[in-house]
Amino acid sequence: MKGKQEQTIPTITTDLRKDIITVPKSISQASGIRIFGKLIRSIIFTTDIAIICNNDADAVIAVYPFTPHPAIIQSITLAANIPVFSGVGGGLTHGKRSANISLFAEAQGSLGVVVNAPTPTSTIKEISDNIDIPIIGTIVSEFTDIQEKMNAGISILNVSGGAHTAKMVKKIRKDFPDIAIIATGGPTEESIIETIEAGANAITYTPPSNGVLFSKKMENYRDKEEAQFQE
């Protein structure tokens, strides 16, 4: 008897919604992280509301280089139709303010909160005491004391080491075989697969900017008008 054949996944869309951002197919090879019953493999890295509403990722990681603000968290969680991991500071913004913003993020429906690399352990502990959703800790260096961060309350690592990400993930996976790891996958299918094989459970994907996407659409519009004129 032949083994069960792989079924084709039916795809349903409309003319208005077919032009969305798709994450690289190689991300589907990741094991994923199951959070409160939701399996997360692909995570889009953006705070652009239009992009958040038009992609096929499993979740969005909304971190940005400014102090976190409740209005930003509220806007993103209101617009998103996928789970949101909200940035709550940890660098310039820390302590009680980060803890309060984390509680607000949970109340707005965030699936988890993300703290920056320099976040003090005291802030992580304060956040952990105030919320009931996962704390995701950003790791940017192989010299980070991961055990200390885990002891403080971090349950998911967000590895962002540039060209060294896969190497960092491999070392972390060796030292902490059971920790959940999110990692940047890089610009190619090959780099994504390398990161997954190193031990990443989920991959963050940085989409093209709104300006780049609009530029491509405008070019397409011009080509169509030119073709019509030549006819």
User: Confidence band (pLDDT; 50, 70, 90) for 7?
Assistant: confident
What would the pLDDT profile of 30-78 be if each residue is shown by its tens digit? 999 999 999 999 999 999 999 999 999 999 999 999 999 999 999 999 9
What would the pLDDT profile of 73-94 be if each residue is shown by its tens digit? 999 999 999 999 999 998 788 8
State which amino acid sits at residue 114: V
The 10 Å Cβ neighbour count of residue 84 is 23
Q: Residue 5 phi/psi, 5° resolution?
A: -75, 145
pTM of the model: 0.90
Taking the alpha carbons at both ends of the chain, their separation in whole angstroms is 58
Query: To which CATH superfamily is domain 25-224 assigned?
Result: Phosphoenolpyruvate-binding domains (3.20.20.60)
Structural domain spans, the chain: 25-224
- Output the six-digit token pair for 187: 């610009």
Tell which residue, 197, 202, 191, 204, has the closest CA to residue 163. 191
Residue 71 burial class via C-beta count within 10 angstroms: exposed 0-12, middle 13-18, buried 19 and up: exposed
What would the pLDDT profile of 179-195 be if each residue is shown by its tens digit? 999 999 988 999 999 99
